[in-house]
A = this chain, B = another copy of it.
Amino acid sequence: MSKIVPVVQEIMSANDSLAAQNRAKLDAAQVVGMNIMASPGAGKTSTILRTIEALTADYKLGVVEGDTANVTIDADKVIAAGMPAVQINTGGNCHLDAVMLSGALAQMPLAEIELLIVENVGNLICPASFALGTHFNVVIASVPEGDDKPYKYPNIYRGIDALILNKMDLLPYIDFDMAYFRRGIEILNPDVAFFPISCKTGEGVAEWVAWLKERAAIYRQ
């Protein structure tokens, strides 16, 4: 005899289910996790280095570096800045997923970390589809990529908490319509926090870091 069981549970994909486990692991260790996504060359590592510089006195930081190839260029820079860092080599894959982050978390000294920065693979498309379990998500755009990116790669801008626009120092040399860019973002994500910065000059970094501290504090209460 069979019995009908009402199933009200949301069906989670394998990735989402593992992302939830990652989140639980971070919460248990009182670690706030941030996922940073961007195009290749938008300045993910430079922004992370600027962020480390500004936060290192207040927060115990850790970094997970996602790379598509077996190179440690970014991880070396972060380690040189004195951070515990774990590199994920995706072996050619174009995004991090919750399985990969789970593996990295197992190697991280979570008890010694308060804020974990995850640098995703350089890609404006697929990382948007794979939750990692971090507490919030940030995209770094950059001025030379052009003002039309929100229209062309909309998915990555949806559901993120902050948008950094890096390389503001190049604005005088590039045709970049800021109003057009902002309009594209507002359609997709009207509540996103927006930070125009330059990792080269340091412009705007203080505002970004102030937001990050505030955001991290919410999750650490």
This chain's copy number in the assembly: 2
Which of B93, B153, B167 is within 8 Å of A122, CB to CB? B153
Whether B94 contacts A152 by the Cβ 8 Å rule is no
Contact: A40 with B71, CB < 8 Å? no
- Within the complex, the shortest CB–CB distance from A147 to chain B, in Å, comes to 10
Question: Taking the nearest CB of chain B, how far is it from the CB of A192, in angstroms?
Answer: 18
Is A97 engaged at the interface, CB distance under 8 Å to the other chain? no
Q: How many angstroms between the C-alpha atoms of A71 and B153 in the bound complex?
A: 9
What distance in Å separates the Cβ of A197 from its nearest Cβ neighbour in chain B?
Answer: 15
Which chain B residues border A154 with CB–CB below 8 Å?
Answer: 69
Known: A125-B94, A144-B170. A151 touches B39 (CB 8 A): no
Interface string of A142-178 (1 = CB under 8 A from B): 1011101101111100000000000101100110000
Partner of A167, one of B121, B144, B169: B144
In this assembly, does A41 line the interface, its C-beta being within 8 Å of a C-beta of chain B? yes
Instruction: Give A39-53 as 1s and 0s: 1 = Cβ < 8 Å from B's Cβ atoms.
Output: 111000000000000
Determine if A69 and B167 form an interchain contact, defined as CB atoms under 8 angstroms apart.
Answer: no
Which A120-150 residues have C-beta < 8 A from chain B?
A: 121-126, 129, 142, 144-146, 148-149
* A67 contacts B by Cβ under 8 Å: yes
- Indicate if A92 sits at the interface (CB-CB under 8 A): yes
* Chain B residue, CB-CB nearest to A121: B125
Q: A94-B94, A123-B123, A124-B40 are in contact. Are A69 and B152 (CB under 8 A)?
A: yes
**Chain B residues whose CB sits within 8 angstroms of the CB of A73 once the complex forms:** 148, 151-152
Chain B residue at smallest Cβ distance from A68: B125
Q: Which residue of B lies closest to A125 (CB)?
A: B94
Complex CA gap A152/B89 in Å reads 11
Question: What are 7 A-B contacts defined by CB distance under 8 Å?
Answer: A39-B41, A41-B149, A92-B129, A94-B126, A122-B124, A123-B123, A170-B173
Which 10 pairs from chain A and chain B are nearest by CB?
Answer: A41-B145, A144-B144, A94-B125, A41-B146, A39-B40, A40-B124, A94-B126, A71-B151, A69-B154, A39-B39
